[in-house]
Structures are given as C-alpha cells and as structure tokens.
Amino acid sequence: VSPAAVQLLELCAYLAPEPIPLDLFTGHAGLLPEPLATAAADVLAFNEVIAMLVDYSLAKRTQAGLQLHRLVQGVIRARAPGTPAGLSGPGAS
C-alpha cells in the first residue's frame, strides 16, 4: 500500500463507518499532508489511491463515497494512537 493510501486510511479511521464523500479530501487537498495532498489534487492519482484500498479490501467504494468497516477503522486507530498523519510518509523520518 502506498504512503498516500496509508495516510488516507489513517484519516478515514477517525470518521464514521458510513460513506465518506471523496470531495472531503479532494476539495481540501491543501490541508492534507504529503504525499496524500498531491494525490488528492489529481483525479487520476486519487482514484489510484482509492483503488489500492479497495483492492486490499480495506475499504469499499460506493456512489456516496469511500466506506470503511468499523473493525478496520478500530485496528488502524489502535495501530497508531496519536501518530501524526505525516509519519507514515517517506519524508517524515
């Protein structure tokens, strides 16, 4: 899974297990950490990030947006309690 996909997963883990509208990310790419920010600013790149999460069965894509199972969310939150969102990226070390 790419660093951008990990960052997206970490954010989604703190939202509800309901569909998350994709423009919550694409509409505010400037607020996101890199490399997710660059991906979210480009439709094709962001689609690839989401496709990766779907391929790994970490999320499903519905018409209303991206949806994570609550167990997946719980595991991600437990894995990285309070970890800064940028820490998983390559530039964070």
Partner 1 sequence: MTETLPAAGERAGPLALVLRLLRADAPGTVMGAPEDWPRWAVLLPHVLAATTRFAPLPGPGEQPGRTDTAWLLDRAATYLQVHARLGEARPLAERALSITEAAYGPDHPDVGTRLNNLASIWKELGQPDQARPLAERALSITEAAHGPDHPAVRIVRATVADLTETSGGSFRQRQRRRQEGGEDGGV
User: Residue 45 or residue 80: which is nearer to partner 1 going by CB?
Assistant: 80
# residues near partner 1 by CB under 8 A? 25
58 scored as a contact of partner 1 (CB under 8 A): no
Among positions 4, 10, 35, 49, the unique one binding partner 1 when judged by CB under 8 A = 10
Among positions 44, 82, 91, 93, the unique one binding partner 1 when judged by CB under 8 A = 82
Mapping DSSP onto H, E and C, the string for 14-79 reads CCCCCCECCHHHHCCHHHCCCCHHHHHCCHHHHHHHHHHHHHCCCCEEECCEEECCHHHHHHHHHH
25 scored as a contact of partner 1 (CB under 8 A): yes
Give the DSSP letter of residue 10.
H
